[in-house]
Chains A and B, each alone.
Chain A
Amino acid sequence: MNEYIITSTNINQLAGELLNEGYNVVAEAEDGTAFIAVAAGSNVILNPFGKPTNLSPKQYIFPKTETLFYYKKSQTDVEIIDPTGLGHKTVIFGTKPCDSAANKILAKVFNWDYKDEFFNKRVENTVVIGLKCGYRDAQCFCTSVGLSPESGEGSDVFLTPLENGDYLAQTITEKGAKFVEEHKKMFDAISADKNKPVPMPEAPAKKFDAAKVKVWLDSNFENEFWDGLGDLCLGCAQCAYVCPTCHCFDIVDENFDYTSGRRVKNWDCCQFTMFTKHASGHNPRSVQSDRFRQRVNHKFKYYPDRFDMILCTGCGRCSRGCGVGMDISEIVQAIDNLK
């Protein structure tokens, strides 16, 4: 790991230079709803003490809609045409640890036997500049899922805000080191007197013991705990879509006209009634509580069983965003407190 200092001004300069080099530069939108592609280097805002954006930056490695291929039909024949535009170099500025960590978690399912190159190529071509997090609220629980507000997990370069307004930049991966090397005039050497980090609030106290919860989940699929749990859930997809690790998707064909169209991969959500509905009309998860049970189990049991990782980074977006106050950390905490 190499360490450098980068000034606040240089961050914007660097962003500007990257734009000139043809990179996609992504940072938090001013209104805090999402991460967006910025048009000018000065638009890059770093927000270590601010609330996480409503929508995670998952869009940039797993877009909400993605063309898988185009097709052209003629008489009885069909031609399949590959999509373009993959592999655009991107730099994302200022993802908090609960966002940066998601890439490694998602890489597991997207490379399970079959390699989803749409995902892999995007990750390969993206440099993640993570940011130490100073935000705390009742919905944060990164420490309960093995992360922390200072974790560089998933970042290529990790920034720590310093008292004088500069940032300490640590290269976490080879990609990060190469990136800094290629833009080294923006980075200064580290020096002891410039190196005082801004004091951060204490890390959130652990809300639950994920390992203990998993043991309960292993043998309590039919427990009455689940009854009525989803009664107040509205069954929208907000929690899944804002989540940095939710990845269920739908594949549909969309026609442009009678002879051509595309096949597209769109975000989907297990909370929708139609998600598991069979063509015969049979729906294995016909009640919202069943669907909600699936969400908790997938994140805290099935994914760990299969890939040894929890499908959650504790960012709290789902709970903050839910219009009716469904809070997954409260529910998992309730499981931990059972018996």
Chain B
Amino acid sequence: MAQLVETAKELLKSGKVSYIIGYTAHGDNGTKPFIARTEADAEKLVFNHHCVNNLSVYINKADIPENGNIGIIAKGCDIRTITMLVQENQIKREHIYIIGVNCNGQVKDIGMNWEKENVAQKCALCEVRTPALYDVLVGDLEDFEKPEPTTMQLIQQIEAMTPKERWAYWQEQFDKCIKCYACRQACPLCYCDQCIVDKNEPQWIETSPTSRGNLSWNIIRALHQSGRCVGCGECSRVCPMGIPIGILNVKMNMISMRDFGFKPGMNINESTLVGSYNFTEKENFIR
């Protein structure tokens, strides 16, 4: 879209940012992440229904040399992540120029056609189609048909199971895991310099893709994301085995909301749940 490209060109020309992380067309029916460093690069930036990636993963992860500020093209869900990253001191607010986009829904995965059954689950209940935070906003809002909330339905299905049934369900899911750590690498909020699975003195979490090792890994990740995950769904999207791991995080989010009234990444001025100290905590061991 023209407005996006012009904004990006302007930012790069003025030197306000040293590069912009965005999307560029790739293949017949998709986009892929792209780093625009020059005005010529900026011409290649796009935004459409095939921009499901959460680009804020590159804020911490990439080996991209940084000399100055960076720009990023981000949807509402991505910006919730950026908000969390700023609140967790991973990047200073003034170092990241957010080009917010009004989002009209995204496909579940790269390369899919834009139609109702292919709309990403996170779009079914999205409250941030206009992002809560940005430096500039581009694009217009348009209606689109929301998908069946199959994720919420699955969560309710599991909630209705007995503990034994739930255990059997997750055993079956986690047995498929191959420990590729795509879920961890695609998650913008998984940024530990050395992940707990990579620590081997002692080996806290088994590295083998056995039932025991997989269960430990997936549960520890869900616990480490509790109160932080914004539900961008990247983990589920990138899992090659189709394990619905994201629902563990969604469920933990529901608990954060219920017990602490906290929704990650909605308000950059509010304290985060697990990143702040509150004298009115329920548990007295923490006071």
Expressed in whole angstroms, the minimum distance between the Cβ of A294 and any Cβ of chain B is 15
Q: Can you report 23 A-B residue pairs in the complex whose CB atoms are below 8 A from each other?
A: A33-B176, A33-B242, A55-B178, A55-B240, A64-B178, A65-B209, A65-B210, A138-B28, A231-B64, A232-B58, A234-B61, A234-B182, A235-B185, A236-B181, A236-B238, A237-B182, A240-B180, A241-B180, A252-B207, A267-B209, A272-B181, A323-B110, A323-B238
Q: Does residue A274 face the partner (Cβ distance < 8 Å to B)?
A: yes
Nearest CB to that of A54 among chain B residues? B240
The 7 closest A-B pairs by CB, nearest first: A325-B32, A323-B238, A236-B185, A234-B185, A236-B182, A237-B180, A238-B182
Instruction: Tell me, yes or no, whether A15 is within 8 Å of chain B by CB.
Output: no
**B242 (CB) vs chain A CBs: closest residue:** A33
Known: A64-B178, A236-B186. 12 other contacts (CB 8 A): A54-B240, A55-B240, A64-B209, A65-B208, A228-B64, A231-B63, A232-B35, A232-B62, A236-B182, A254-B208, A272-B181, A325-B27
Q: Which residues of the other chain, A, contact B71 by a CB distance below 8 angstroms?
A: none
Q: Which of chain B's residues has its CB closest to A273's CB?
A: B198
- Complex CA gap A234/B207 in Å reads 19
Contact, CB under 8 Å: B234 / A323: yes
Contact A234 B26 (CB under 8 A): no
* CB of B30 closer than 8 Å to a CB of A: yes
Q: Which of B27, B53, B185, B206 contacts A254 (CB 8 A)?
A: B206
Complex: chain B residue closest to A232, CB-CB: B33
Q: Is A338 an interface residue (CB 8 A)?
A: no
- Give the number of residues in A that approach B within 8 Å (Cβ atoms): 37
Within 8 A of B (CB), among A223-263: 228, 230-232, 234-238, 240-242, 250, 252, 254
**Interface of A toward B, CB cutoff 8 Å:** 31, 33-34, 54-55, 64-65, 138, 228, 230-232, 234-238, 240-242, 250, 252, 254, 264, 266-267, 269, 272, 274, 287-289, 320-321, 323-325
Residues in A neighbouring B229, C-beta threshold 8 A: none
Contact of A289 among B63, B176, B178, B241 (CB under 8 A): B63
For the A-B complex, the count of residue pairs with Cβ-Cβ distances under 8 Å equals 103
The size class of the interface chain B forms with chain A is 35 or more
In the assembled complex, the CB of A275 is this many whole angstroms from the nearest CB of chain B, namely 11
Contacts of A323 in B (CB 8 A): 53, 110, 182, 186, 234, 237-238
> Are A241 and B178 interface neighbours, CB within 8 A?
yes
Question: Measuring CB to CB, which residues of chain B are less than 8 angstroms from any residue of chain A?
Answer: 26-28, 30-35, 53, 57-58, 61-64, 110-111, 176, 178-182, 184-186, 198, 203, 206-210, 213, 234, 237-238, 240-242
For A236, list chain B residues within 8 Å (CB): 180-182, 184-186, 238
Name the one of A64, A238, A240, A264 contacting B238, with C-beta atoms under 8 angstroms: A238
**Chain B positions within 8 Å of A231 at CB level:** 35, 62-64
A72 to chain B, nearest CB (A): 19
Taking CB atoms, residues of chain A closer than 8 Å to B186 are: 234, 236, 323-324
A200 to B69, CA, bound (A): 53
Partner of A252, one of B28, B208, B242: B208
Complex alpha-carbon distance, A287 and B185, angstroms: 15
Q: Which residues of the partner chain A approach B209 to less than 8 Å between Cβ atoms? A: 64-65, 266-267
- Contact between chains at B240 and A321 (CB < 8 Å): yes
**Alpha-carbon separation in the docked complex, A133 to B53 (Å):** 31
Complex: chain A residue closest to B243, CB-CB: A33
A238: contacting residue among B30, B63, B180, CB under 8 A: B180
Q: Using Cβ atoms and an 8 Å threshold, which residues of chain A touch B181?
A: 236-237, 272
**A33 CA to B244 CA in the complex, in Å?**
13
B185 touches A138 (CB 8 A): no
Complex-state Cα separation, A267 to B214, whole angstroms: 14
Q: Which residue of B lies closest to A36 (CB)?
A: B176
Residues of B within 8 A of A264 (CB): 208
